[in-house]
Amino acid sequence: MGVVDRTRDLELEDVALWDVGKKFGFYGAIAAMVAVSMFPVFWILLSSLKPPSELFVFPQEYLPYTVSFEGGISVEQQFPLTLENYRTALGQRPVGTYLLNSFIVASSTAIIDVVLGAMAGYAVSRLRFKYKLHVLLVILFAALLPFISRLIPLYRLAINLQGTPAGAVFGLNQYLGLILPYAAFQMPFAVWIFQAYFKELPDSLEEAGLMDGLSRVGVLFRIILPVSMPAMATAAIIVFIYAWNEFLFALTFMTQDSKRTITVGIALFGGQFNSPWGTITAAVFMSLIPLLLFMFVFQKKIVEGMTAGVGKA
Amino acid sequence: MADGRTEAGEVTRLGEEGLRGRLKRYREVRLTEEELAVALLTPVMLFLLAVSFYPIVDTVWASLHTGYVIDLPGKTTAFVGVENYLKLFSSESFWNALGVSLFYTFVSVPIELVFGLGLALLLQKEFKGKYFAQAAILFPWALPTVINAKIWAWMLNPEFGVISDILVKVGLLSQPFPFLSKPDIALYSMTAITIWKTTSFVALILLAGLSSIPDHLYESARMDGASRWRRFRDITLPLLKPTILVALIFRTLPAFQAFGLPFGLTGGGPGEATTTLVLYTQQVAYNNPGPTGGGFALGSAAATVITLLALVIALIYVGTLYEPEVR
């Protein structure tokens, strides 16, 4: 073998090794990211299934069962798994009510934002009218305003409306007391998601409708809305997650335990040092179930919603 | 499409159409382009006016008045000018909270941006199991902040925390460490937790920006012999600028308004070491001195300061990073 051939061999081998190394490095990095991201969820689930005697120990056990190879393979139980914490959370604590409240608030918010967001999104993306830029700027500006500056006035409003007929609609411990603020806060994002989606539709859609003798309203209802289901799903999921997660307003507006949402319910479970961590972790895990479902089933929609319009400018 | 005529060719100006003609058209729900736009936008604008803009103005109003700003018999509201602001600016707690928020925001956001960019470059590739990997990596973003705070409060528990456990197992610690009981470490921990939670969000925004950079730019740069680093510096970064702006605004404003994380993790403690501006404002308004002690007025002043700072931050970003479309 000549010198040249030998070096070439060496190089090829190096390249192959380098590729394998790169591949290992790549998958290793991905695996590490997945582990780092999901470990807390795993830990909460594990903690929620532990009996109290296993929860408050150090060092902690990581697996309920381990496999031992001494004298043949045998599975050893490290600690018994129990649903006791879930029973306590749902039976002795109103975690079920919290979850239901959150569900009512989050889905109503999503419905309002989908309807109003689709309307406004259609107008700003596909209709020509005066002051369009101003309207867009007003909507985007609303997204920049801090939540805390809207909290005290709306709270005062709720207090002032108490006892009046309007108090039955908007007020403390009313679902609408949360739904309306949430819907307003997420409105700019809903409008944004819809306008980004509508912008991509071909102009010929409306033209064809108008040619066929439909009115503009008819075009909107018969042609545009039916094809905008994907954007509706995206907006609904993003708004739902936001409303499910919100804490500041939920804490302030819901003073009765029976009206609290899950975030407030969990946050007020106990102090830092003597908290019922078994029950808390069970409640936390239950609060994460819809979010886990969303993320693993509708990931595409979520990503679309988060990045609507980004990079297209 | 719209040239001042409806689809049927009717002229829309009132003078030519006539009032009767217009009413007939409305009865048949046939609107011009502009009329439809107004009809579609009015509910949204009214809604935003009532629930987003009016409260901001009302907060400014309340911040300029005395004490108890809810009308109650025996309690009157009077204009006091900037008194509440003077009281706010002379409060040590306010400056502490401002410092905490600025540290938390401007340490976490740049780190998220760097990590996020790395993660975006990693996720740019197609690979087996990408869907699940991406869902798992993105999941922390979807966690409710206050519940995330509880999760970490448990994992950083001073006696039984799993983070201590892991650090003991790898030999970095010899016994459980009370991460949340030492002022500095508590703030660092809180900052680290938010980096953990939102880096994937930044990555996703940047990924969307990356995918919009045309491939042929990289191709021709490679033909010209540009190194990997050169291609990154001279193509990726400049073209990613608008997306970086979006990511910065989307991350900075929420970070600056952090509330659930300190509330659930430390309650703002130890002392006031992790009391952010919004947590401080909420406490002033509702706990101490509370609404009856003029908490709403002082809280409104603090909220107004937060609004102004948020707008200033947004303006600075747009001013330094926004460039009119070059492509």
pLDDT tens, position by position, A266-305 = 988 865 456 788 889 999 999 999 999 988 998 888 888 8
Q: Does A1 score more than 60 pLDDT?
A: no
Structure tokens at A88: 């306590």
In this predicted model, what pLDDT tens digit does every residue of A54-78 receive, in sequence order?
A: 888 778 878 878 777 777 777 777 7
Flag whether B66 is in a domain: no
Sign of the dihedral defined by the CA atoms of residues A169, A170, A173, A174, in that order: positive
- How much is the pLDDT for A313? 43
Task: Say yes or no: A130 and A173 in one domain.
Answer: yes
Is residue A182 located within the same domain as residue A298? Answer: yes
Q: What is the pLDDT of residues B63-112, one digit of tens each?
A: 888 766 565 656 667 788 888 899 889 989 999 999 999 999 999 999 99
Q: Which of B139, B151, B282 sits opposite A248 (nearest CB)?
A: B282
- pLDDT for res A21: 80
Q: Are residues B168 and B243 in the same domain?
A: yes
- Exposed, middle or buried: residue B135 (CB in 10 Å: 0-12, 13-18, 19+)? buried
For residue A10, pLDDT beyond 60: no
Structurally, how many domains does chain A consist of?
2
Q: How confident is the model at residue B2 (pLDDT cuts 50, 70, 90)?
A: very low
A129/A178 same-domain check: yes
DSSP calls for A256-287: SGGG--HHHHHHTS--SSS--HHHHHHHHHHH
User: Is the domain of A197 the same as that of A221?
Assistant: yes
| B316 Cβ under 8 Å from any chain A Cβ | no
Domain match, A21 and A123 both: no
- Domain span at residue B282 reads 91-321
In this structure, is the dihedral angle defined by the CA atoms of residues B318, B321, B326 and B327, taken in order, positive or negative? negative
Query: Percent of chain B having pLDDT more than 90?
Result: 35
Closest approach of A231 to chain B, Cα-based (Å): 17
Both tokens of residue B64?
A: 């300029």
Task: Give residue-wise pLDDT tens across range A108-122.
Answer: 999 999 999 999 999
Provide, as residue numbers in chain B, all residues whose Cβ is less than 8 Å from the Cβ of A132.
37
Do B190 and B148 meet the contact criterion of CB atoms below 8 Å apart?
A: no
B window 72-111, beta carbon within 8 A of A: none
In this structure, is residue B192 part of a structural domain?
yes
Q: How many Cβ atoms sit within 10 Å of the Cβ of residue A263? A: 26
Write the burial class of residue A131 (CB in 10 Å: 0-12 exposed, 13-18 middle, 19+ buried). Answer: exposed
How far apart CA A126 and CA B25 sit, in angstroms, is 22
C-alpha–C-alpha distance, residues A225 and A255, integer Å: 39
Mutation to test the B interface, candidates A98, A147, A216, most B Cβ within 10 Å: A216
Residue B16 has pLDDT above 70, yes or no: no
Domain assignment present for A311:
no
CA of residue A111 relative to chain centroid, distance:
16
Q: Within a domain: residue B2?
A: no
Number of domains in chain B: 2
Domain check: are A69 and A91 in the same one?
Answer: no
Cis peptide before B270 (omega within 30 of 0): yes
Q: Which domain holds residue A19?
A: 3-77
Per-residue pLDDT at A259 = 92
pLDDT of residue B13: 53
